[in-house]
Structure 1
Amino acid sequence: MFYFLGQLGDQLSALNVFIYITFRTGASMITALFFVFLFGPRIIAGLRVRQGKGQPIRDDGPQSHILTKAGTPTMGGLMILSGMIVATLLWANLANPYVWLVLLVTVGFGAVGFYDDYLKVTRSSHAGFGGKARLGIEALIACAAAYAVTSFGQPPFSTALAFPFVKDFLLNLGWLFIPFGAFVMVGAGNAVNLTDGLDGLAIVPVMIAAATFGLIAYLSGNAVFADYLQIHFVAGTGEIAVVCGAVIGAGLGFLWFNAPPAAIFMGDTGSLALGGMLGATAVATKHEIVLAIIGGLFVLEAVSVIIQVASFKLTGKRVFKMAPIHHHFEHLGWTESQVVIRFWIIAVVLALVGLATLKLR
């Protein structure tokens, strides 16, 4: 909305500031932060009244969780999404198709997660939305988004896969880019979902990844910077930085209430939405492989579950004491704060490695 004030810059030069992506990204971050601060307590109070017993706690998990986390409301992703959407609508260029692409994937995945949370709360059970049905809906949303990405750009680049550390090589996937892009988005959404198991564990790595991809989107969408760094220029993706700024601001506001002991959990509403948002950003900016580096913590969590399930089905034995892997470390004797903070450190290191791919080509 405010972006269009910049169009009046020739009449009042002070309005030119609304043209700059950097200014609007910062403003988006602050707007989302204060929105969550302002409305967060009301949202938490409303969810606590409606949910009663709150999010069901796993019986097979650490016993401390049953004592300390019981009764905590879930669906805190509503706080994040509302702050993000309001800030984006206020500060992003709404004529930019990439803004709507990322928003629609985020909201679509969030809606799936909301329904899953709703079923869990109303049934007082971990059995939410059926796995196949949930993945099917996510895949449909992601395929539509991947197809949109191919239509925004010019072929063959729009259907090509770029590789980090390599300057010029592109692998043209053709129509296979659509299922590939969908896989990235669905995989990212569910990987973040699996990571969301401890207070603050998921939201901080998400903010770190959003900040990193905000910078990547800004650089990829700027022809001068993209040429200097020898990365692929994707016209229009710079505006995604404003969306990433909104995620960071809303995430900071949510963390205020999610810090141990959490007053609210993110739930599938938030984790699926934020993971989908990161996946959509990676696909739009042609940094799908870099997402696996920057979001390596999420990949680790997802792989630990895959290994655990495969091992148990094939051999009847478990590789980890409990999956996802953050629970494994809890069973080894790490405190919750040790697991969370150490995983944050890993997320920072991986983000730095991901950023290094921009120059090491």
Structure 2
Amino acid sequence: MLYLLLDWIQDVASPPGFGVFTFITVRSALAAVTSFFICVFIGKKIIRLLKRMQIEETFRDDVGLDNHYDKAGTPSMGGLIILLAIIFSTVMWAHPGNIYIWLILVVTIVLGGVGFVDDYIKIIRKNKEGLLGKFKIIGQVAVGALVGAVLYFYPDFQEYNTLSTIPFVKDANIDYAFLGEALGWAIYIPVCIFILTAVSNSVNLTDGLDGLASGTSAIAGLALGILAYVSGRVDYSGFLDILYLPGTGELTIYCAAMVGACFGFLWYNTYPAEVFMGDTGSLALGGGIGAVALMIHKELLLPILCGIFFVEALSVIIQTSYFKYTKRKYGVGRRFFKIAPLHHHFEKKGWAEPKIVVRFWIIAILLAIFTIITLKLR
């Protein structure tokens, strides 16, 4: 909303220098800084509140890692810090008339709410199972369906609603309406549901070590911000030969707010963590990443950009499938990894937690760089 105030001042008084606030790059930088300092300044107060309310992590005996005993008693549900920072910064600096901004805020708030309910059941009501899986899925499917429906049916998007950039292929886009326009929605909306559900769950599975999910989410958010910016510029999108998507530039501000919030949260979440984000933060971040990728029609780049998240999720799928297969075949279940998700496998091998986190960050940075340069490797 601050954008409207500054724009009004510029129109009425035309003070020197105020025109700078019309630039997305400037507002994105301010959103990142605002989000970071919100996390840093309110983070300590929220952590104290969580401690006072005894909203703390309990040790799970089924994890199989003795060093995680030390994490018991650490405040959880710190994702509230991230949510407040992202929402406030985005509303403050983004153009309020942009449909993408309202849609991404709905995704963030709803999935953050689903995560909050899950954390509440696990921590406050002391039910380790948390929110039943079917209710989580219902929430994710509903949000994915909403995103898909808006992107497909909104009048301004009709020209490119079912198109998506194909990595490594020049002058080519995939069209989800390959069975005809009448059935386009029947393919596109389920694709949106699958992607949003997969990414949000993958980030949730990655949230197991201090700073791992917040750091990798910041890296993914930064790359998505760059992609959103170039997609919303007719000159850059033309030069890169990608879809020109009017209005997506404003998503750069949301991505910047996400990056700032993740870095601000890292102030308290780096090893040894003073607070955990819980499902409140991980589901919201994952949903935001998946939704932005869909809005800028770059969802086919997610396996590269979110490689860490997807490998973490894949490790769980492999572990579970292999255990069930060997149990049927040999009568005793066997494990493919020492423990899943993958970051716990390396812990079991004796790697120090900070070493795992930093190495995963490095891989995430390399994947983000490669994602960006795929725009020219075509």
TM-score scaled by length of structure 1: 0.96
Match of 1:219 in 2: 230
Q: CA deviation at 1:141?
A: 1.2
Q: CA deviation at 1:96?
A: 0.3
Name 1:17's counterpart in structure 2.
20
Between 230-239 and 61-70, report the one with greater CA deviation: 61-70
The amino acid across from 1:85 in the alignment is I
Describe the SS at the equivalent of 1:46.
helix
CA distance in 2, matches of 1:177, 1:184: 11
Matches within 5 A, 1:157-176: 157-173=160-176, 174-175=184-185, 176=187
Structure 1 CA distance for aligned equivalents of residues 104 and 27 of structure 2: 17
Larger Rg, first or second structure (1 or 2): 2
Give the 3-state SS of the residue equivalent to 2:351 in structure 1: coil
Shift of 1:58: 2.1
| Structure 2 Cα separation of the partners of residues 270 and 282 of structure 1 | 18
Task: Give the match for residue 51 of structure 2.
Answer: 48
1:259-298 to 2 correspondence within 5 Å?
259-298=270-309
Residue 171 of structure 1 aligns to a residue whose secondary structure is strand
- The worse-fitting range, judged by mean Cα deviation, of 316-325 and 3-12 is 3-12
2:2 equivalent in structure 1: 2
Query: Which residue of structure 2 aligns with residue 193 of structure 1?
Result: 204
Q: 1:178 is matched with which residue: 176, 189, 198?
A: 189
- In the aligned structure 2, how far is the partner of 1:213 from the partner of 1:314? 38
Distance, in Å, in 1 between the alignment partners of 2:62 and 2:350 is 16
CA distance in 1, matches of 2:196, 2:188: 12
1:330 aligns with 2:311: no
Runs of 4 or more consecutive aligned structure 1 residues displaced over 4 Å after TM superposition: none
Rounded to whole Å, the distance in 1 between the matches of 2:362 and 2:40 is: 26
1:353 aligns to 2:364 (yes or no): no
Corresponding residue number in structure 1 for 2:265: 254
Instruction: After superposing the two structures, state which structure 1 stretch, 205-214 or 54-63, moved more.
Output: 54-63
Paired residues of 1:185 and 1:280 also in contact (CA < 8 A): yes
Secondary structure at 1:158 match in 2: coil
- Asked whether the 8 Å contact 2:36–2:260 carries over to 1, the reply is yes
Match runs of 1:144-163 below 5 Å: 144-152=146-154, 153-155=156-158, 157-163=160-166
Q: Which letter does structure 2 place at the counterpart of 1:343? A: F
> How far apart are 1:289 and its partner, in Å?
1.1
Q: Which residue of 2 aligns with 1:110?
A: 112
Q: Is the 8 A contact 1:56 1:120 kept in 2?
A: no
Q: Which residue of 2 aligns with 1:37?
A: 40
Partner of 1:128: 130
Q: State percent identity of aligned pairs.
A: 44
1:8-46 Cα shifts (integer Å, max 9, x gaps): 535414221111000000000111111111111110111
> How big is the shift at 1:125?
4.1
Taking the aligned partners of 2:315 and 2:150, their CA distance within structure 1 comes to 32
Offset of residue 186 of structure 1: 1.1
1:94 corresponds to which residue?
A: 96
| TM superposition shift of 1:181 | 1.1
8 Å CA contact retained: 1:156, 1:172: no
Q: Give the Cα separation in 2 of the matches to 1:340 and 1:115.
A: 28
| Runs of 5+ consecutive residues of structure 1 not aligned to the other structure | none
Match of residue 31 from structure 2? 28
Partner of 1:204: 215
Q: Cα distance, 1:7 vs. partner? A: 5.1
Length-normalised TM-score, structure 2: 0.92
